[in-house]
Structure 1
Amino acid sequence: MARCIPEVVHESQRQRGEADFLQRLRMELSDEWIVLHSLNLGAGERRGELEADFVLLHARGRLTLELKGGTITCEEGTWYSRNSNGRFRIKPPFHQAKTNAHEVHEHLKRIFGKDSAEAGAPYTHAVVFPSCDFDAPSIEAPRDRTFDRRILSAALDKVIPPLLAIAEAQLVARKPGSVLPPPLSQSQLASCLQVLRPDLRLIPNLNASEFDAHLARLSAEQLAVFQLIEGNSRLRVTGGAGTGKTLIALEACRREHASRPQAKIGLVCFNRFLGAHLARGIETEGLQHAIEAGTLFLHIDRLLGLPPVPAGSPHSAYVERMEAAVRTAEALPEDQKFDLLVVDEGQDQDMRGSPNTLRVLNGLLKGGFAQGRWRWFEDANQTLNFSPKKPEPHPVADGVLSVLDSAATAHLQRNWRNTESVAEAFARIVQLPRTPASGFPGPGVAAAKAQKGHELKALNALLEKVVLPKHAPEEVVILSLRGAGLESYKECQSLGGLKRVEFDPLISAKPGEIRTTTFAKFKGMESHAVVLVDVERIEEVRDRRCLYVGMSRAKYALYVIATPEVYQAIVEALSTPAGSQVV
């Protein structure tokens, strides 16, 4: 089976016949092939936008296919396509295929060099007419590179590979006396893939007001996770901040619903803001009847038919609610349980050493974790619920942990959220391995120091002189590294000359306002610019993890106000990489 990137054709392209042909390429070609669909080639200044319908990569060479669906005619040199919507003038398909193949070749030459193996691989082009017979002999239309309905009645593993021999013959003809280059290695193929369809894609920025404004185009690394999902009933996915865990968790729910419309799907997270955000997104897409999204306690409230525990209640109230949920979940009839359970922020589902969280999750899933279908997403470096005691032993919870440890696992490495500067900064400051990031350099991370009792003065100065001249207020979120109610700005009605409002994922920012919250509440969210305040400790593991959570919320710009001691540690950590900045 060929590897296709992306795996599916977007809805807007389905009438062009490309979805069916992509499916055939996937099913009928071997795993030696990589298929890129709808490859936007960009253009020079004197050209219009170019798009190749299909580019096929193989160790022996590269093929560019132009597909023309519907009824195709050529009248006095002008090409037309007719479908149910009417008759349209189209670009000459053979010229278009040849131009696209050449454009791909030139792009690889620019990137790798004209004498590189990647650019020197044989290449050719062909035109596909899946809906009609092509009977017009023409010098423009080489018969061996024209695939019509009759030719396509054969399996594609018989139709497509001969094009490689044509590409090899063309290469030798272009360079008389030359010999064929050796086949590309897997690493060279991977390099070509990364250049032609790099991992960088449009992804939702996870701001509630823009949740459905973007189309998620998954990276090759993330697509590999979905291949594991398709082949495993139970999958554990690990990855750092910004690697797309929540994006994939949500997409896994969508795909499950698309393939099994009657399935009951549960999407569970830990953070209240993230839970509200996910539920809002599901509702916006009209999927709330099939996908129940929210925090674990929201699922518990639904299970028990009770209102939420009132804010400010003692910890014992949550413990009692959890114990009632355990009893109810474990007695729940199988037909009322989830067919698929997707758990995001899995590292936080421990409730300070109690086994009851895992018991509830196990009870909500048809077949439990041992036999049921589930996806578990986690980042161990974001674990904030440190327990002073070991978890209480319990056969059900211990069984869930055992199943998690033995399940198929995928690891996401590339950070899609942060600029290289932000990713480099938090890796150095919190002493984590540096992983690949978005590829955008971004501005340097800015740090400022504030003596105890002078945090507000430093914050207002930073906002007025540095942050707000560069960023619109709605692009900025101020995060305190202290707990709720302990923030240095808690008594302030305004900051930086703007009205201070508490961040709410369901309410868009308004002009004249600046939003604030704590880093813990903002976990799972992100903002274009983040101002991190009340940074007072960095010595312990928990301190560094809190700082990691706060810093990794910044997509583009990050500003940190710290005590003199922590400020000095930050300056020392940032002394090597370029792009750091002291304010």
Structure 2
Amino acid sequence: MMPPYCPDDAPPGEKALFRALASSAETDGWIVLHSQAIASHVSQVEGEADFVVITPKHGMLVIEVKSHSSVKRSPDGQWKLGSQPPTSRSPFQQANESMHSIRNYLRSRNVDLHSVPVLNAVWFTSVRARTMLPRSPEWQEWQLLDSEDLHTGAVPAILRVIVAGIKHLESRVPGFSHDVGGLDDAAALRIANVLRPKFEAAIVPGDIRRARETQLATFTDEQYDALDNMQHNQAVLFAGPAGTGKTWLAMEATRREVAVGRTGRVLCFNRLLGQRLKQQLIGVEGVRIATFHEEALRLSGGRAPSQAEPDFWESDLPDRAIEALLDHGEDEAADFLIVDEIQDLAREPFIDVLEFLVEGGLGGGRVLLFGDFERQAIYERGDGRALLRDRIPGLTTFALTVNCRNLPRIGTVVKKLSHMAPGYRRFRRPDDGADPEFIPVPRGTDQSKALTDAVHMLRADGYNLDEIVVLSPLRHGATAETTTDPWLRQILQPADGQVPKRGRLRYSTIHAFKGLDAPAIIATDLDAASAPNFEALLYVGLTRATDRLITLIEVQTLRATYGGNA
């Protein structure tokens, strides 16, 4: 599908047909162009074809989609579609003109179409047009598709139209002969590239970076509503999937609390995110910023064992912090408590500690929580939201649904692969036409060469090394950590939460990079067989990319991730 997502403002019929074709296992090798603009239209200043379906060994079909729930034609030839004003230009005329415009353009670009059937049809997606519309000399019966075709199978319906259209051309066009080899995969790809060519915009990388930073730092209307919501409620949970701006809101909430004279804490789960919060909130007085475990160590007055087991962090340390707070914690309760990544802290031992850290406790204090309960709780903590509601009876929830971080193609791919429901309502950032790259790699092979190629690909696309981050689900043995490639070893360095250095390529585990983002992400070592809770890790890792995403993914995992249609 080009593009691989359907815009939110597309008509419902186009959305339905897009979903049917994108989810079908029968469209392997097909190329479908949605909303194909036509600058040189045969009868208008410009036009648009709803769908151009290029099917190797069959032909091309230009489809005009009509979503209207009623279709009428008056005796004077006027068409009335739904609530639209009457028009003398029929849908079939629209489809025919779009087809001729596209065919003329392809011929002007020296694309050989002499044995390629180029056909057109109209698809009424909401009515049973094939049985309700009378026969007419204005169209061929085979050019008509309807709601039943959408329900029973979009792919068979399209093939039915193409087969009937070929028979029509062979009977009516002298010398036309359909050659199945005339539209092979290479020819289909060339046609798609001519109709929708890739190109580089004449904008310098610095301008791209400034535009990205402005987009990421500017609040949406939804986020302003969230900020207003926190003014009128004592305890609020701001919940939303990755990329909806929760960390930005947490930082803005901190500034607002301090501005009215309050003192407090900002806590999070991840060390790297804690470093970022400290950098971004430097100079904000009266607030303590730390990871939960940093704060627990400070409160308990101890140090972590050199080889601490998970039980130490998950049970022993919280218990020690609570003991210390019970003994001498009178001065630790602050005016407000803000917690980012609350989904990873919403379990009894951690919540018990948080109870002591805000005046009035969680149930009566000023508490602002930010979390992603969609897929980002990668540590299998159980039902954290239920626990929060139980411990904070007056907790108000505000849902964040606008993706502010990812370009639409990245966010749409993540939404599909992660089975997010409902997921994102819309994307704030404009599409730039670059698709995420999924590069299959055999299991057990060294991915250094593929990683090097991915880095060079991004460098050629204008990204500096310090704008790229390599992520892996592996805590030990990741490609970036173990590679023997001399060039990679020279430029790679572990992410440490500090401002990235020019000329260095950072790498990290997906776990450690939660809550952060980078302009370009290369995800390596993606193999469901070697990473527990793989689907959640995939979701977290892919949503770190703001603009470019390249994944090195094991072949069988890729097939399974795409539902067997890779």
TM-score, with structure 1 as normaliser: 0.55
CA distance in structure 2 between the aligned counterparts of 1:390 and 1:411, rounded to whole angstroms = 17
CA distance in structure 2 between the aligned counterparts of 1:327 and 1:407, rounded to whole angstroms = 27
Deviations along 1:33-80, one digit per CA (max 9) or x if unpaired, are: xxxxxxxxxxxxxxxxxxxxxxxxxxxxxxxxxxxxxxxxxxxxxxxx
Query: CA offset at residue 494 of structure 1?
Result: 4.8
What's the % identity of the aligned pairs? Answer: 22
Deviations along 1:527-546, one digit per CA (max 9) or x if unpaired, are: 10100111111899932111
Query: CA offset at residue 573 of structure 1?
Result: 8.1
Deviations along 1:359-404, one digit per CA (max 9) or x if unpaired, are: 00001111101111100111112001115x899xxxxx99854144
Please give the residue correspondences for 1:86-485 in structure 2 after superposition, counting only pairs within 5 Å. 216-260=217-261, 263-283=262-282, 286-287=283-284, 289-307=285-303, 309-318=304-313, 319-350=315-346, 355-380=348-373, 381-386=375-380, 401-404=389-392, 406-433=394-421, 434-435=423-424, 436-442=426-432, 443-463=434-454, 466-470=457-461, 471-482=463-474, 484-485=475-476
Q: For residue 185 of structure 1, what is the aligned residue in structure 2?
A: none
Query: CA offset at residue 569 of structure 1?
Result: 3.5
Range 517-526 or range 499-508, more displaced: 499-508
Q: Which 4+ residue blocks in structure 1 deviate beyond 6 angstroms? A: 210-215, 538-541
Query: CA offset at residue 489 of structure 1?
Result: 3.6
Query: CA offset at residue 277 of structure 1?
Result: 1.3
CA distance in structure 2 between the aligned counterparts of 1:316 and 1:375, rounded to whole angstroms = 28
Partner of residue 544 from structure 1, selected from 528, 535, 539: 535
Range 373-382 or range 501-510, more displaced: 501-510
Deviations along 1:399-455, one digit per CA (max 9) or x if unpaired, are: 854144651111100010000010011111111134112332131010111112224
Deviations along 1:148-203, one digit per CA (max 9) or x if unpaired, are: xxxxxxxxxxxxxxxxxxxxxxxxxxxxxxxxxxxxxxxxxxxxxxxxxxxxxxxx
3-state SS of paired residue (1:341): strand
3-state SS of paired residue (1:468): helix
Counterpart of 2:354, as a letter, is L
Contact 1:458 1:561 survives alignment (8 Å): no
Query: CA offset at residue 477 of structure 1?
Result: 0.6
CA distance in structure 2 between the aligned counterparts of 1:215 and 1:548, rounded to whole angstroms = 20
Query: CA offset at residue 501 of structure 1?
Result: 0.8
CA distance in structure 1 between the aligned counterparts of 2:380 and 2:326, rounded to whole angstroms = 27
Q: 1:424 to 1:297 in 2, by over 3 A?
A: same
Deviations along 1:114-153, one digit per CA (max 9) or x if unpaired, are: x9xxxxxxxxxxxxxxxxxxxxxxxxxxxxxxxxxxxxxx
Contact 1:370 1:400 survives alignment (8 Å): no
Q: 1:429 to 1:398 in 2, by over 3 A?
A: closer
Q: 1:475 to 1:346 in 2, by over 3 A?
A: same
Q: 1:237 to 1:527 in 2, by over 3 A?
A: same
Q: For residue 57 of structure 2, what is the aligned residue in structure 1?
A: none
Q: How well do the aligned residues superpose, as a CA RMSD in angstroms?
A: 3.2
Q: 1:420 to 1:449 in 2, by over 3 A?
A: same
3-state SS of paired residue (2:281): helix
CA distance in structure 1 between the aligned counterparts of 2:565 and 2:223, rounded to whole angstroms = 30
Partner of residue 498 from structure 2, selected from 498, 501, 506: 506
CA distance in structure 1 between the aligned counterparts of 2:530 and 2:393, rounded to whole angstroms = 30
Contact 1:531 1:558 survives alignment (8 Å): yes
2:486 maps to 1:490: no
Query: CA offset at residue 356 of structure 1?
Result: 1.4
Counterpart of 1:439, as a letter, is R
Q: 1:496 to 1:257 in 2, by over 3 A?
A: same
2:524 maps to 1:523: no
CA distance in structure 1 between the aligned counterparts of 2:392 and 2:453, rounded to whole angstroms = 45
Contact 1:525 1:553 survives alignment (8 Å): yes
Q: 1:216 to 1:562 in 2, by over 3 A?
A: closer
Q: For residue 194 of structure 1, what is the aligned residue in structure 2?
A: none
Q: 1:523 to 1:219 in 2, by over 3 A?
A: same
CA distance in structure 2 between the aligned counterparts of 1:420 and 1:373, rounded to whole angstroms = 35
TM-score, with structure 2 as normaliser: 0.57
Counterpart of 2:275, as a letter, is A
3-state SS of paired residue (1:343): strand
Query: CA offset at residue 521 of structure 1?
Result: 0.5
How many corresponding residue pairs? 351
Query: CA offset at residue 503 of structure 1?
Result: 1.1
CA distance in structure 2 between the aligned counterparts of 1:230 and 1:315, rounded to whole angstroms = 38
CA distance in structure 1 between the aligned counterparts of 2:482 and 2:272, rounded to whole angstroms = 22
Query: CA offset at residue 506 of structure 1?
Result: 1.1
3-state SS of paired residue (2:460): coil
Q: For residue 553 of structure 2, what is the aligned residue in structure 1?
A: 562
Q: 1:408 to 1:445 in 2, by over 3 A?
A: same
Query: CA offset at residue 211 of structure 1?
Result: 13
